[in-house]
Structure 1
Amino acid sequence: MASDTTRSAPTGGAADTTPSAKPHRTPSAPSAAADAVLAFANTHADAGGRQERFADAEGLARWLTDNGLPDAAADVSEADAAAVRELRDALVTVLLGHSADPRTSEQALTRAEHLLRRAAARYPLAAVLDRYGARLVPGHDGLPGVLAGILASAAELALTGAWQRLKACRNPPCHFAFYDRSRNTSGAYCTTTCSSQVAMRNYRNRHRAGAATPGNAGDAAPEATPRQ
């Protein structure tokens, strides 16, 4: 339901190595960590006109600059853009798993999780301990630090019990990542529009399947008239 989900998009300004978050949150709103992950996930193209932000090095550099990370945008390459796309797509696949998307197979989830584990090794984090607690911070600067910061945000969400609330819309043309604020974490679509589109698509598919099934009422031959 639209009232129970929050769609997030990249916002200007950033602290350290993650896209910045909006201030003045309510308890039911997504955290800064959630906003960072959602801003990264929602960079793919969709049927609604959203453009791929990581199509090439120029696009990646622009996204980094737009999110207040100009230092990380320096000297990014086409290989960097491809690696970032791969990481982003794996993350979206896991978020589709959170939505129990029927089109996302167990094999796809396993591949995505394997890639995320490899990314965690490639973009390491360091634990910082002080009198106030502990936190994970990127072990490198630049683009590796940005990607490590995304992983740190995901780890924070997992530790606080909010990771399962990050989902990707089950509507195939959309797959927009959102924060599920429903009480029982039952949200599966980013808006009621997507939910309605899927319901109508399923209805039409059932109707066509029923019409094509031999022997149903619509296909039944007329009864023969008994001979006198």
Structure 2
Amino acid sequence: MQETTATRGPLTAPNAAGLVLGFVNTRATGNGDPERLGDAHALRAWAEEAVIDLGDWVLSDADAASARDLRQALVTILLAHVDVQEPAGALAEAEQRLRQAAALHPLQPVITADGCEFISAQQGIPGMFGTIFAAIADIAQRNMWSRMKMCRNLPCHVGFFDKTRNSSGLYCSPSCSSQVTMRAYRERQKAGQGTPNTSTMKH
């Protein structure tokens, strides 16, 4: 069944967001989450979990490396949505990488009385990448792409969908927001302790 705006509230993440976030959140984090796309076996396990049918496609570690490369480009984009600046030129490089990948994995429209959606025109690993691009296209056409973000709290950096009304969310949870606030407070305290108190200095 095709999802429509009538089946969800204005601040509910579209179904496609789950696939994209599930993909970017396969990377290892400072919170102890392991790398989940380390090799061909791990990639197939994730695809099965995401309900992406790879059929009899024989996966290789090179496919897993391509998946990690695509994932990193998406991570860079989602970090930009919370104003986290990667090294100079990283954002432009990520955008170029995504354009190149999208050109290799074309989509085809499926038009019905309810609307239009895109699906991958390929099978196997190319089809998996195409399915991810189709999900991104779905999110973008709902004007929700800017709500796809990475938590600004280092080392968390978990992908999340921002449900705030003004799309101002920067953290995946109140816990991460509190950690950042406390960290900033401690840094201010530490900086203050290192500043001489001129009112008590002898002249």
Q: Which band: TM-score by shorter chain?
A: 0.7 to 0.9
What's the counterpart of residue 50 of structure 1?
33
Q: CA deviation at 1:148?
A: 0.8
- State whether structure 2 residue 186 is matched by structure 1 residue 204: yes
What's the counterpart of residue 85 of structure 1?
68
Structure 2: which 5+ residue stretches go unaligned?
none
Give the Cα separation in 1 of the matches to 2:131 and 2:88.
27
Q: CA deviation at 1:206?
A: 2.9
Give the Cα separation in 1 of the matches to 2:144 and 2:56.
30
What's the counterpart of residue 112 of structure 1?
94
Q: CA deviation at 1:134?
A: 2.2
1:167 to 138, 143, 149: 149
Structure 1: which 5+ residue stretches go unaligned?
1-14, 16-20
Taking the TM superposition and a 5 Å limit, the aligned residue runs for 1:168-183 are: 168-183=150-165
Q: Is the 8 A contact 1:171 1:189 kept in 2?
A: yes
Per mean C-alpha deviation after superposition, the further-off stretch among 25-34 and 156-165 is 25-34
Counterpart AA for 2:130 = A
Give the Cα separation in 1 of the matches to 2:191 and 2:95.
35
- The two structures have a TM-score, normalised by structure 1, of 0.78
Give the Cα separation in 2 of the matches to 1:211 and 1:118.
51
- The two structures have a TM-score, normalised by structure 2, of 0.87
What's the counterpart of residue 3 of structure 1?
none
What's the counterpart of residue 119 of structure 2?
137
Counterpart AA for 1:56 = D
Counterpart AA for 1:54 = L
Q: CA deviation at 1:127?
A: 2.4
Q: Is the 8 A contact 2:53 2:124 kept in 1?
A: no
Per mean C-alpha deviation after superposition, the further-off stretch among 64-73 and 170-179 is 64-73
How far does the alpha carbon of each residue in 1:64-115 deviate from its partner, in whole angstroms, 9 at most, with x for none? Answer: 12223353574111110000001011111111111122x4356221111111
What's the counterpart of residue 36 of structure 1?
19
Q: Is the 8 A contact 1:123 1:144 kept in 2?
A: yes
How far does the alpha carbon of each residue in 1:5-34 deviate from its partner, in whole angstroms, 9 at most, with x for none? Answer: xxxxxxxxxx9xxxxx9xxx7413211111
What RMSD, in angstroms, separates the aligned Cα atoms of the two structures?
2.3
How far does the alpha carbon of each residue in 1:32-61 deviate from its partner, in whole angstroms, 9 at most, with x for none? Answer: 111111111111111222111101111111
Give the Cα separation in 2 of the matches to 1:72 and 1:179.
30
Q: Is the 8 A contact 1:64 1:73 kept in 2?
A: no
Instruction: Find runs of 4+ consecutive structure 1 residues off by over 6 angstroms.
Output: none
Give the Cα separation in 2 of the matches to 1:72 and 1:96.
33
Counterpart AA for 2:45 = R
**Residue 94 of structure 1 aligns to a residue in which SS?**
helix
Q: Identity over the aligned pairs, expressed in percent?
A: 40
Give the Cα separation in 1 of the matches to 2:183 and 2:37.
30
What's the counterpart of residue 188 of structure 1?
170
Give the Cα separation in 1 of the matches to 2:160 and 2:137.
17
- State whether structure 2 residue 137 is matched by structure 1 residue 155: yes
Give the Cα separation in 1 of the matches to 2:107 and 2:185.
47
**Residue 186 of structure 2 aligns to a residue in which SS?**
helix
1:166 to 1:107, Cα distance in 2 relative to 1, 3 A: same
Counterpart AA for 2:42 = G
Q: Name the structure, 1 or 2, with higher relative contact order (CA <8 Å, separation 6+).
A: 1
What's the counterpart of residue 18 of structure 1?
none
